[in-house]
Amino acid sequence: MSTDTAIGPWRLRWRRFRRHRAGMAALIVLGLMAVFVLAATPISYLTDIDPNATDLLSQFDPPGNGHLLGRDEAGRDVLLRLMVGGQISLLVGLLGTAIAGVFGVFIGVMAGYFGGKVDAVLMRFTDGMIALPLLPLVIVMGAIDLTKLGFSRDFAHSGAVGFWRIVVVLAIVDWTGIARLVRAATLALKERDFVRAARASGAGAFYVMRAHVLPNIATPMIVAFTLTVGRVILLESTLSFLGYGIIPPTPSWGNMLNNAQDMVINAPALAVYPGVLILITVIAVNFLGDGLQHAFDPRSDQG
Amino acid sequence: MARFILRRVLQSLLVLLVMSFVIYGLIGLMPGDPIDIMVASNPGATPEVVAKLRAMYGLDQPLLLRYWHWLLAALSGDLGFSRVHSVPVLEVLGPALLQTCKLLITSFVLSVLLSFALGIIAALRPGGIIDGLIGLIAFAGISVPVFWLALMMILIFAVQLHWFPASGISNVGDGSLRDHLIHLVMPVTTLALATTGGFIRYVRASMIETLRADHVRTARAKGAGEARVVLVHAFRNALIPVVTVMALSFGTLFNGALLTETMFAQPGMGKMIYDSIQQNDFNLALTGLMFATAVTLLSNLIADLAYGWLDPRISLT
Amino acid sequence: MAELIGLDAISVQFTLGGGGLFGGKKRLLKAVDNASLTIAEGETLALVGESGSGKSTLGNVVAGLQVPTSGSLRFRGQTLTAATWPQARRAIQMVFQDPWSALDPRMPVSAIIAEPLLIQGTANAAERRDRAAELVEQVGLPRDALNRYPHEFSGGQRQRIAIARALAPRPQLIVADEPLSALDVSIQSQVLNLMRDLQHGHGLSYLFISHDLAVVNHLVDRVAVLYLGRLVEVADRAALFAGPAHPYTRALLDAVPRIGRKRARGRSIAGEMPSPLDPPPGCVFHPRCPKAQAICRSTVPALEPRADAAGHAACHFKDAP
């Protein structure tokens, strides 16, 4: 069945979004960034360069000779490592936001829909989370010794666990903003007559949440998720920079800067590239969020 | 009003108590424990001795009991010794706190001044070129990794241009005020730049809203000069939400302080906490984290109260 | 006529304030106080009162949206319990005041209309589609409305969709909470006529909640008047319009503008409705009543038969001229 009789709400939004120049530019930049980091595998295959292969005879080689941005302190290709590191950084951003999103949406909908004691407890909890000095706590969580929680040594020190530990830690600290926003939106929806109509027909809480609440809070959720991706990428880079994030030899933009810090006098370029990529990505994500907000806000039609 | 304050204070204390347990538990999960460290420096210790040591320090007891003992001691003012510094924790904390206050206050003032100026200018013509430019600056401020900004400052102004020293709070043997100030320039600028971005956006949004409000339009219609309209009528009302947001941003500011202090080797609270985590200095890390949490809660509390006090429409009952 | 639904001494109280760990002082609001009513099969009963009179709360009780603090409901002579409510729900549906809020903007009209069937699990997807198509025509909308979204319709069309939705599970009673007051006057009569036609076609009963006695006159069989949560008069429409027994009903009637009659100035109700948090003692209407005597300030009047036996009124002087 088609809805060709009129313009759907999503097409209206897309029209409004296209008029937001910065948002459109951000979308294009992020598209190019995705192409850049995903090109790592084919380029590595075609040029036969391994981004993790060290070559101590070629330390700090200047650009040229098949290495467009030269080589780093261990003789690895800088450009290729930037691409692979970007994959990791962006993936952490997306996965961390996904987990934070599931958690935040769950808590927010529960608190908003049931209200009363559930709401009071959940909101005190998010208040508590917001009041924390996050960075030192994240460092502590990044440093936690998993063997003390009963995991085996091999498990605790495997690369995959190192990756997922960061994703989970970042999700734990970044779900509160989403939860608050979702709660406010749910509170407003709960009093709408279509929700009351469904309840009068005998609908249970979970039917209402699935059929009415979630579809109607999709727009503020998308904006909140976008902005969260930016924050998670920033926090990942900080954590990896401090040595508690993604553990080398797996590159991420953050831990590439950790190495570069010590050589800022000899090889300043190594400290510049990853930072510029983080900056561009996060600025683009924030502008995208701004554009989406504009597109989703019906009031922005007039202004 | 008194009821409201009492209620909020009690709530904050409850959050602090819960957080103290969470932080205690997390610190306990960090690699190594005090006995491991003792044993590492004393390879002759037999397993029996180790077990005895554990019992002596109470480390064989369940977490909840250990926490209870720590809480009782902490409430009576005994926060333990710093393992690395070999002095009571509070003696390390004091000077670090002073150093951090210097950094936080100067950069906060700088950032408030900058964001008010830029935010108001941007709000005068929303959608104009200048607004777009300031918006880009603001987004850059929000999006830049603080540690990388510090790194670039060092690279440009210390390594390349030699304008400012890259680290420390003074040169050895030079205790002059000028020397201290010069060492403060780069950390303060870095932290201020990193916090200004968010502030600009709040000031701008709040100013745009009040400039559209009826009483401001009335003032304009009555023929008040544009400068007077903007600065007296609009700005005063725009201030209310902005002040709240700024007070609520203490947590972010503290995160920034940890990074700037670490990058520029400033012996403040942030660097102290970071170092104590790295060096397994459990008591110091615990106390530092608890202190930072308490201050954040306090600043949120003040923000809440200030909001009610500044805006008479909000009734605090 | 057989009784379809009966309300027996229904009271609804809300607790305001309080709650939380360090909440403030609690206050009790009596939204509905000891209300007893019946609605017969095929009958239309109007529930009339000013805003804040508790009429919507009472409507919510009948629709199952509000659990009464005390009192009970009968459905076809059977007292409703948690176990028997799900059955009764199919027979009782609701239409709301604001057609902009009553339809989920993210659902196509076909899904909105068939939603009660989906919730109650009484029809499969094909049956639901057929039922929605059938209903869309019954309420006078074009068939292609089914695949469109609420934002493409006007207020009157939306209210038709809401009515179709209420009809989907073939109910016996529709609780209509001010279904006309958000619509333009020209649209009101169309929707009113639709409701009347549907009633004849389906043998429906209506509980029609309104603040406007003029609208009520065209549709209903009986009128129940609510003031500050209490029923002050319940009577047949004709008898009530001809000779209201309660001074409040009279005041409401006098406030209705009618063609061919100048609105009597100074005869609108004096004073304001007191706060339901702090209702006056005795008869709740006495502070505004032109007939008030000492007994009205001390004794609550019971709902007793009118002299003409056409209904009941709660007034110490209901039969005085």
Domain boundaries, chain B: 31-78, 92-310
Interface with C, mutate which of B4, B5, B7, B18 (most C CBs under 10 A): B7
Q: Which of residues 1-20 of B touch C (CB under 8 A)?
A: 3, 6-7, 10-11, 14
Chain A: give the shortest CA distance to residue C252, in Å. 28
C144 within domain boundaries: yes
- On the question of pLDDT at C100 being above 80, the answer is yes
- On the question of pLDDT at A26 being above 70, the answer is yes
Q: What percent of chain A has pLDDT over 90?
A: 18
Q: Write out pLDDT tens, residues B130-153.
A: 988 998 899 899 899 999 999 999
Looking at residue B212, its pLDDT comes to 77
Mean pLDDT score of chain C, rounded to an integer? 84
Cα torsion B272, B275, B279, B281 to 10°: value is 20
Does residue A249 have a cis bond before it (omega within 30 degrees)?
yes
SS3 call for A8: coil
Cα torsion C193, C196, C198, C201 to 10°: value is -130
Residue C228 tokens, joined: 């500050």
CATH code, domain carrying A242: 1.10.3720.10
- How many separate domains does chain A show? 1
- On the question of pLDDT at C20 being above 50, the answer is no
HEC-encoded secondary structure of C26-68: CEEEEEEEEEEEEEECCCEEEEECCCCCCHHHHHHHHHCCCCC
Q: Write out pLDDT tens, residues A65-110.
A: 666 677 777 667 888 888 888 999 999 999 999 999 999 999 889 8
CATH code, domain carrying C199: 3.40.50.300
Least confident of A130-134, B11-15, C99-103, C310-314: A130-134
Interface with B, mutate which of C22, C25, C26, C27 (most B CBs under 10 A): C22
Q: Write out pLDDT tens, residues C102-153.
A: 998 888 898 899 999 998 888 888 888 889 999 999 898 998 888 888 888 8
Chains with 3 or more CB pairs under 8 A to chain A: B, C
Q: Do C201 and C291 belong to one domain?
A: yes
pLDDT top residue among A155 and B275 = B275
Q: Residue C40: is it exposed, middle or buried by C-beta count within 10 angstroms (0-12/13-18/19+)?
A: middle
C164 within domain boundaries: yes
- Distance, in Å, from the CA atom of A195 to the CA atom of A214, rounded to the nearest integer, reads 12
Tell whether ipTM is more than 0.95. Answer: no
C293 within domain boundaries: yes
Q: Do C231 and C131 belong to one domain?
A: no
Question: What Å distances lie between residue C28 and A191, B192, C230, CA to CA?
Answer: 22, 52, 16
Q: Does A216 touch chain C (CB under 8 A)?
A: yes
Looking at residue C270, its pLDDT comes to 67
| Subunit contact A271:B155, Cβ cutoff 8 A | yes
Give the residue numbers spanning the domain of A285. Answer: 70-302
Give the residue numbers spanning the domain of C52. Answer: 3-76+174-181+195-313
In which band, very low, low, confident or very high, does the pLDDT at B315 lie, cut at 50, 70 and 90?
A: very low
Q: Which of residues 191-250 of A touch B (CB under 8 A)?
A: 230, 234, 237-238, 241-242
Question: Of all helices (H) and strands (E), which one includes residue A201?
Answer: none
Question: What Å distances lie between residue A291 and A11, A303, B128, B239, B295, CA to CA?
Answer: 15, 14, 17, 26, 36
C309 within domain boundaries: yes
**Which residues in chain A are closer than 8 Å to C141, comparing Cβ atoms?**
none
C39 within domain boundaries: yes
Q: How many CB atoms lie within 10 A of CB B50?
A: 15
Residue C43 tokens, joined: 């009958």
**Which residues in chain B are closer than 8 Å to A275, comparing Cβ atoms?**
145, 148, 151-152
- How many separate domains does chain C show? 2
Section C259-263 average pLDDT: 54
**Which residues in chain B are closer than 8 Å to A148, comparing Cβ atoms?**
28-29
- On the question of pLDDT at A282 being above 90, the answer is yes
Q: Write out pLDDT tens, residues B75-101.
A: 887 777 777 777 888 888 888 888 888
Q: Do C204 and C248 belong to one domain?
A: yes
Q: Does C21 touch chain B (CB under 8 A)?
A: yes
Q: Does B159 touch chain A (CB under 8 A)?
A: yes
Instruction: Select from C21, C22, C24 the Cβ nearest to the Cβ of B317.
Output: C24
Q: Do C208 and C305 belong to one domain?
A: yes
A81 within domain boundaries: yes
Name the CATH code of domain B92-310 (choices 1.10.3720.10, 3.40.440.10, 1.10.1040.10, 3.40.50.970): 1.10.3720.10
Section C75-101 average pLDDT: 84
Rounded to two decimals, what is the model's pTM? Answer: 0.80
Interface with A, mutate which of B66, B133, B143 (most A CBs under 10 A): B143
Looking at residue C25, its pLDDT comes to 59
In which band, very low, low, confident or very high, does the pLDDT at A297 lie, cut at 50, 70 and 90?
A: low
Q: Does B317 touch chain C (CB under 8 A)?
A: yes
A118 within domain boundaries: yes
Interface with C, mutate which of A194, A206, A209, A212 (most C CBs under 10 A): A194
- On the question of pLDDT at C57 being above 70, the answer is yes
Q: Do C104 and C249 belong to one domain?
A: no
Looking at residue A285, its pLDDT comes to 92
Looking at residue A194, its pLDDT comes to 92
| Subunit contact A120:C19, Cβ cutoff 8 A | yes
Q: Write out pLDDT tens, residues B144-177.
A: 999 999 999 988 888 888 888 877 777 766 677 7
A148-187 residues labelled b (16+ CB within 10 A) or e (exposed) = eeeeeeeebeeeeebbebbbebbbbbbbbbbbbbbbebbe
Could you identify the residue written with the tokens 């095929």?
A: C42
| Subunit contact B259:A283, Cβ cutoff 8 A | no
Looking at residue A188, its pLDDT comes to 84
Confirm if A182 and A109 have CB atoms less than 8 A apart. yes
Section A48-71 average pLDDT: 71
pLDDT top residue among B312 and A148 = A148
A32 within domain boundaries: no
Chain C: give the shortest CA distance to residue A133, in Å. 25
